Structure 1
Amino acid sequence: MDELFDTIRENATKEVWSRGVELARQDAVSGDRRTAEEIVLRVLERSRSVSTLVTLWPNEADWTKDCSCKLDPCHHVTAALIALKRAEEAGEELPFAKTAGGTLTYAFHRHEGALHFERYVLRGEEKKQLTVPLGQAQRTQEFAVSPTADDQAIETALGAERRGRIGVGGMQKLLPALMGVDVTLDGETISIRKDPLGISIEIRDEGLGIRVIGKKDPRILETFHNGVVRTADGLHPQIDLTMDSEDRNMLLHGRTISHRDLETFASEKLPKWQKRYVIDNRSRNLPQFVDAEPELEILMERHGDQMMILPGIVYGEPVIARIADGDFRPIGNQVPVRDHDAERRLKDQLYRAHGLDLYHAKLLSPVDAIRFVDNLGNWKGLVRGNGVEQFQRVGAVRPSIAWNQGRLEIEFEGEGGKSAAREAVFKAFQNRESLVPLMGGGFAELPADWWNLYGSKIMDLMAAQNAKDGLPKAAYSQALELMDDLGLEAPSDLRIFQRLKDCNWDDLPLHIPKDMEGRVTLRPYQKEGVAWLQQMQSFELGALLADDMGLGKTVQALTSLQTPALIIAPTSVLPNWKRELEKFRPGLKATLYHGPNRKWETGSDVVLTSYGLLRQDLDLLLAQEWAEIVLDEAQTIKNPESKVALAAYQLRAKGRLALSGTPVENRLDDLWSVFQFLNPGLLGQRKDFRERWAR
């Protein structure tokens, strides 16, 4: 009792407890009955016409009430508990409210083959037959009564037939309503049962199958004309023999169920019959009924990035039956006898403790799923499925970065030998999530401070890295900077690009080819342009020269030109390129590969051709690896899905140069295609570039 008192006191709000104290002081609580296992009390508020029935189970520190209060425990429960505690302290088993009305008792008696019904108002030792409607009785001193919700339900079930012989239809409504109260038959206490009786079904073995046939229920001791039968365990409604034609034929004439159909019969047909009929099971081929306690079970399964939870009830340990979607489904050859009262209490416990409904699946987000798994210590029942393994916390991921022959490799290791997929980590970082899923199950914390420092740099580098060729050299300096920031020693092939990082771009050396000496006078900005192009060549990086039209991009390109070179330009400017080569670079053998009578000349230092022939004669141009490829009017390849762009990407060269006065004509996406030719991967994948920069 002390444990129950403490439990209700701890769970009740301050306001609820105060209202309970006030009700107890108002002499509003009366005890109905007390057994070793349960105590039933009724609480009557003067403002309400119906008493609240409170049932306490001290041994289990649990309770229930029939009011509609949303809070649980409510003030009715606390009032009942406080009044009971005071009664016990006074040496009494139950409290007795002197100012409350009487309680109702119910009685049947036999008369001319039927049952007759009466109600009595009991107050102390006084007992008086109730002959008026309940509502009227509450307003008269003669029949002063404090009805409960059960009493009101019985009044409703009676309708106009309040006493005497109740018809068959009225009995069908009255008996279920009487299940929650004490009833007598000719002065003897008798139980009211809800399961209708009238027919039994005999099941016996026939070969490997069974034979099923209907018979009169042998448990029936007495039948009354108004639709009630009596057995040794109480009064039952007489069974309604209305059934579908298949069941009627089976029970009237008998039917053999083959061995292969036993499982379907036992899991679908038999449970329905068990609710309506007596089953006389003489078969060994059917599963055997056993006693087992029901227990809560929760199925937790991963569904994509979410976790599905489905609470249910099972019987036995190990499990021998499971209730799924409200249906009772035995497992194996043993079938437990259902305990509906215990199941109802488990249902209340589930909702009260966890806010969950039986047999209702619920999808939880990763964060909610992890929180649910964290709180599983409060779960009283079985756990099934992979949810715990998939959504448990397992520490934090540890990033590991290494350089491997031109590739930046990064791994994310968790505890227990598990790791996180790189894509999953990047996604979590982009979405600003604190947890990342691990391969093989579980979630780990992202090191927030570490990611805030290095996350963007790492994602840029990984976006630039090609699955086949690794990291483009254009991004080596960024990789070097990252490794320096992390305190990692860079390998020699990466350390070379320290020069790129340390380069003094404001004071670059300039080299004029010998065959150009005395033939050209470069303006200051052109000298800077040539020096920059030559420096980029030394780093084996492609370059985009985007001076406006008329500022001499051609002469800058010729000054820095490495041979053998392939120059691709619009057809209209090919003659101009030929003249400029002859004028400024007479030492180079230049070939114009164009026109219907074009011929490929071996040994040329420079080959001039058009974008149209790039597509048409691609195989010929791919046969040679060039020292440098120059694209004039490079915006021609602005569409990376065009045939000319795809052809340009395939050309082989150590150096690449793009010339364009309008590298971005319509949208920033144009620039990605040009740089995919110059330095493949430098701007990452086209999709990433669009999402981050080109929107």
Structure 2
Amino acid sequence: MDDDLLFAAVRRACSPRTWSRGVELARAGAVIGERQDDDELVLRVAVPGVAVAPEVTLWPDEVEWDCECQSRQGACFHVAAAVIALKRAREAGDALPQASARTARVGYRFRRTPEGLHFDRVLVRGDGDELEETPLEERLTVSSRKRIAGATLFTSAADMTIEVVLGVRQRGVLPVKTTRAILKQLATPNGERSADVCLDGAPVMVGAEPVRPHIKVADDRKTDGFVVKLVLDPAVTERFANGAVLCGETLRPTGSLGLEKDQIRRLRAGIRYPRDQAAGLLSDVLPYLEKHTTVHRVSKRLPRPGGDYRPRITFETQRKDDQLAVLPTIVYGDPAIARLDGQRLVPLAKIIPERDRDAEELLRGRLRRRLDMMPGRPVIYAAEEAMTISERLAAFGELRGDAHREFYRAGALTPRIVGDGRKVAITFEAEGPAGGGGDAGRREVDAEQVIAAWERGNGLVALDGGGFAPLPADWRARS
């Protein structure tokens, strides 16, 4: 590090008055070093009558500097004091300006109790073997600073924020909200250990990132379904009742999940899902919970999500007497690995597709506009209409089942008399599928069925084995 270049650059950037002020502060011991990285130095400068001692950051290799005071000058008197004190410290063989009996800073002391973390503040004077701690009995105000005899008090913006957060209660087992706010202010950068924060007398690191409960999805031992339950973050080694946890050697605040109280209550007890709700669990519930915290999927039964599957329409056909029942369904995959049951996705395989709700809605709209159908609702077609609907269905989606194949127009009916001289029976035959549709071969129908169709006023009669033949035109004219 080239401290001389930095020193010279700061001096050039300062006005004579600014530089003189920096000299005064450096001589008064108003500068202490906070920390040092490979290319960065952080110091703090205390100014009489000012609540916060601004933090000054120096980058000697880049000949750059910065100060929390946000001065518009090229270099403020805090920066001037910092480089002057740094130069003197280096000449004395120290890496940074050291704290002394004439300087004091605020220390934060936590200790374990059955009720939670007990909090207190102390005044820390000196450093190393000459370290001295005394309880902080007064509030951190400008007037109280004057009563700290013979010492320059270095207070940061975090110190003053904590003062406000504490309010009238300055020590003890603080409420959850207060403890969380204090820990966020005390968080050390880059995971460094702070000498001014101790747990049971030992320095401890403080992290700002809140630790939230995690969620575990496991197999339900009582059923063949699943249990979704709140669990502790595996990184937590110790938990305190008033808003703090210990993760290894780092104190961190706890965090809320952002869920409703009733949801949290149910998750603590464990929410059970039947196996047939696995798709909804994967496609809806778990993605929602993952927006709030980490979800651990330890279930061995839970289908695995994955694959690029698009939704499509299938039609299940079934014959009901002389009518055709058609059930439209939205499915994923070909062959189908999941189907929609209302808004619920039902798995048909060990893979659960990622839902595309926009595409599902488009399919619903097309089905409604073109065929006047809704997914999951069967539609019944009379024979005449059933003969024409199959082609429209096939053009729209996959036809499943063979019932629709039985609805085609056969040839004209021809009577046939069967008898052995003593007993005579009349049957009818179709000449064959009209236009070549349906299955090949001749079809028969009993005379009673033909007469019954005529009496009902039907224009068609169902043939044995599939197909419908038209009744003779002159018959229909007599009906």
> How high is the TM-score relative to the length of structure 2?
0.47
Greater Cα radius of gyration, structure 1 or 2: 1
Considering fraction of residues, name the structure with more helix: 1
> How high is the TM-score relative to the length of structure 1?
0.34
Which is bigger in relative contact order (C-alpha 8 A, separation at least 6)? 2
Considering fraction of residues, name the structure with more strand: 2
